[in-house]
Amino acid sequence: MNARLTTAALGDAVDIAAWYDRRSAGLGDQFLAAVEAFGHRIEVSPHVCGRVSRAPRGREVREGILRRFPFILV
């Protein structure tokens, strides 16, 4: 399975990281590291995340919750 971050998702992640940094210095970097770690984890072991039932036909799409941050990554 290939994990990829779309341009729109990358923009959202950067905006969210900036929001976290305004709350606490360095927290945005921790958020981005969590997103990157999630991408690696799902590439190595995709079955640790649930399958998305509304995925396009013929595509396997997985989603999971970031452990420390209240976000679901698809």
* DSSP one-letter code for 51: E
Read off the pTM: 0.84
Q: How many CA atoms lie within 13 A of 48 on its CB side?
A: 12
CA distance 41 to 45: 6
Q: Which domain holds residue 26?
A: 7-73
Please indicate, yes or no, if residue 2 is contained in any of the structural domains.
no
Please indicate, yes or no, if residue 26 is contained in any of the structural domains.
yes
* pLDDT reported for residue 8: 94
Please indicate, yes or no, if residue 49 is contained in any of the structural domains.
yes
Please indicate, yes or no, if residue 1 is contained in any of the structural domains.
no
**For the chain, how many structural domains are there in total?**
1
Nearest to 1 by CA among 56, 62, 71: 62
Q: How far out from the chain centre does Cα 37 lie?
A: 8
Over residues 30-53, the mean pLDDT reads: 90
**What is the pLDDT confidence band of residue 59, given thresholds at 50, 70 and 90?**
confident
CA distance 74 to 63: 4
pLDDT at residue 1 tops 80 = no
